[in-house]
Amino acid sequence: MTVKSVTVIGLGPMGQAMAAAYLDRGYEVTVWNRTPGKADGLVARGAHRADTVEAAFKANDLVVLSLTDYTAVYAILEQAPGALAGRTVANLTSDTPDRAREAAEWLAARGAVQITGGVQVPPPGIGTPDAMTYYSGPEKAIETHRTALEVLTGIDYLGEDPGLAALYYQIGMDMFWTGLVGFLHGQALAQANGISAREFLPNAVKTMDFRYFLEFYAPRIDAGNHEGDVDNLTMGAASLEHVLHTAQAAGVDGSLPAAVLDLFRRGIAAGHGQDSLTSLTKVLKG
């Protein structure tokens, strides 16, 4: 076993990018995937294809998991639990904070250490200078494998709780997916009116630059200050009604703005009509 060696399990687009990044940096890379053929391109570049999960675990001290969810994680780990002792598992699989904590306990009971990771870039971003990953778990394990982990991305260490990286990641995904779906709904409305996505792009970039609002709202949210001095839910609901009617008139599915409008109306019904948009945090928490 060399100092620069790693095992990568899971060869979807993210796992492929990770294994390739290690090969680019001169690492000995062992790979395993449920569909062996996905490793062909990496093997052609010099990676070692493990015939079994057990062989993949035993090949290296550091094992990187990049899978769909923790159900897939367990389906793999349970094939060779006896081979986990002494391994550090960098679990870069998306799932809930509770499942990350449960997996860390499961691995610890079998002599392994889990480092939970939430990668903040898409596969093409792996290995690029500004890429970052949320990490949590034993700091000692992260420091031991820092050089190898930093081949993939920078490290944003959050603390010992193995669920923290998963929590931060899911908070980010909450904003990411809802924001992008909003962009797509806007583009459907644009196209229905003969405006191309490329034509509208400069306007979309400006509209979705939320930095001013995030920096303005964050301290107010923390302070519980939902004063409607700049915006209020009644005003927002009127705006959303206009959006909904415009979409319906263009024959575009209005379920997305209708859902947001319903949330605003719930806030108004709860007595927040003259309060800021931020008062919806109270409605959302129930």
Q: What angle do CA 154, 158, 162 make, to 5 degrees?
A: 110
- State the residue for tokens 């797509």: 184
Domains in the chain (CATH in brackets) are: 5-161 (3.40.50.720), 168-285 (1.10.1040.10)
The pLDDT, as a whole number, for residue 1 is 44
pTM: 0.94
Element (H, E) at 156: strand 154-157
Quick one: DSSP state of residue 275? S
Q: What is the gyration radius of the CA atoms in the chain, in angstroms?
A: 23
3-state DSSP call for residue 52? coil
- What are the residues facing 156 on neighbouring strands? 134
Residues 45/63, Cβ–Cβ less than 8 Å: no
- State the residue for tokens 């001095």: 229
Q: Virtual CA dihedral for 143, 144, 145, 146, nearest 10 degrees?
A: 30
Q: Virtual CA dihedral for 74, 135, 22, 76, nearest 10 degrees?
A: 0
The pLDDT, as a whole number, for residue 184 is 98
Per-residue pLDDT of the chain (286 residues; tens, 9 = 90+): 446 999 999 999 999 999 999 999 999 999 999 999 999 999 999 999 999 999 999 999 999 999 999 999 999 999 999 999 999 999 999 999 999 999 999 999 999 999 999 999 999 999 999 999 999 999 999 999 999 999 999 999 999 999 999 999 999 999 999 999 999 999 999 999 999 999 999 999 999 999 999 999 999 999 999 999 999 999 999 999 999 999 999 999 999 999 999 999 999 999 999 999 999 999 999 8
